[in-house]
Structure 1
Amino acid sequence: MSYAIIGFGHIGQALARAFARKGIDVSVATTRDPESFAADAAAIGPTIIAKTLADALKADIIFLAVRFASHPDVANALPSWQGKTIVDVTNAYGVPPEELAKQPSSKFIAQAFSGARLVKGFNHLIAATLDQDPAVHGGRRVVFLASDDDAAAAEIAALADNLGFSPIKLGGLSEGGLLVQARGNSWGQLIFKDLVKFD
């Protein structure tokens, strides 16, 4: 299984550090030339590989960690997303629901990435919290996942577990997914909740 993070701002770098902590290879890319951020990627760890967007999108599992408004630029980079799993880490705060045809933002994004399996996840924590080691006081930091594809949710839950987090599945995008999505100028009820699970 191969992994990529698209977007290398605070959230993208926090995700990259999670992979680096476990020594898991992950490609990182933006719409910029990879040489412009290769040094920052290398500073995180040897398993973080700066690539062009086209090369990074060859991965099986792709974390979409760009600004919500930038998602069409990524979606248009491939003619088909068949066989890919997208982890939607975006937050559509401030986007009027009318612009999303009154759908949850992840459903709107799923339409742009036609053919992909989409999981909403890793978006409810601020970058500074996501950046920390998920092992906390003998427990593990929770990440919430929502998807209309149970197999995709299970796949990302297993990855989250490998990265040291405690995944909690919330159900479909239109049900539990609303708990971790911005809607207009309001946040879902679980956004910014930093929870730790003890087994």
Structure 2
Amino acid sequence: MTYAIIGFGSIGQALAKAFAHNGIEVAVATTREPESFAADAAALGPTIIPKTLTEAVKADIIILAVRFERHPDVAKALPSWQGKTVVDAMNSNLPLEEMNGLLSSAFVAQAFSGAKLVKGWNHLLAATLATDPVVEGGHRVVFLSSDDEDAIPPVAALARQLRFAPVNLGKLNEGGALVHARGRIWGSLIFMDLFKMEQ
């Protein structure tokens, strides 16, 4: 399984840091040339590989960590996203009317034709995401949602490799709506982001 992170701002770098800490190779790309962020990638570790967008989207699992309004630009990198799993780690403040009444991930899925889309990592602030997910004997939770049931297991497996605790919330319009961010106010799910196993 190969991985890529598209977007190398605060969220993208925080995710890349998790890959680096666990020795997992990941391509990182933006809409800019890789030379412009190569030094920042190198500072995180040797498993963080700067690539062009065209090269990065060859990965099996692609994490979107760009600003929401830039996702259509990323979607143009491939004529079809068939066979790809796209993880939406973005949040949108657009009104629902501007997204055809859809929640943000369902709206994003329309741009990535043929892809299996999974919502994940969007509920964690960049500063939290950049810290060790193992805290006081517990693991930070990653809530996952998708309309493609078979897309969840490989993303959950990646989350575990990165030492997060994945929780499957079901379909985008069900569990996905619970962690839908709007106007900096979280949805109806009130949750802790730390999971501990009772001894």
Partner Cα separation in structure 2 for residue 118 and residue 63 of structure 1? 10
Percent identity (aligned): 66
Match of 1:117 in 2: 116
Check 1:89–1:170 CA distance in 2 against 1; reply closer, same or farther (3 A cut).
Answer: same
Specify every segment of 5 or more residues in structure 1 that has no aligned partner in the other structure, as ranges: none
CA shift for structure 1 position 189: 3.4
The 5 A counterparts of 1:158-197 are 158-183=157-182, 186-190=185-189, 193-197=191-195
The one-letter code sitting in structure 2 at the alignment partner of 1:195 is D
What is the distance in 2 between the residues matched to 1:109 and 1:16? Answer: 22
Q: Which has the higher contact order (CA 8 A, sep 6+)?
A: 1
Counterparts of 1:48 and 1:39, CA distance in 2: 11
- Residue by residue, what CA displacement relative to the aligned partner does 1:5-44 show, whole Å, maximum 9, x if unpaired? 0000000000000100110000000000100000000000
- Tell me the equivalent position of 1:5: 5
Q: Secondary structure at the match of 1:20?
A: helix
1:20 is matched with: 20
Query: Cα RMSD between the aligned structures?
Result: 1.3
Q: Counterpart amino acid of 2:66?
A: V
Q: 1:87 is paired with a residue of what secondary structure?
A: strand
**Structure 1 position 98 matched with structure 2 position 97:** yes
Conservation of the 8 A alpha-carbon contact between 1:140 and 1:165: yes
Per-residue deviation, 1:180: 1.4
CA separation of 1:47/1:190 partners in 2, compared to 1, >3 Å: closer, same or farther? farther
Unaligned runs of 5+ in 2: none
Give the distance between the partners of 2:133 and 2:8, measured in 1 at CA. 20
Is 1:96–1:184's contact at 8 Å kept on the other side of the alignment?
no
Q: Contact (CA 8 Å) 1:106, 1:173: kept in 2 or not?
A: yes
- The question of whether the paired residues in 2 share the 8 Å contact of 1:17 and 1:131 is answered with yes
Q: Distance in 2 between matches of 1:11 and 1:135?
A: 18
Give 1:87's aligned residue: 87
SS of the equivalent of 1:62 reads: strand
Question: What per-residue deviation string (whole Å, max 9, x for no partner) do you get for residues 80-108 of structure 1?
Answer: 10000000001012x01101111111001
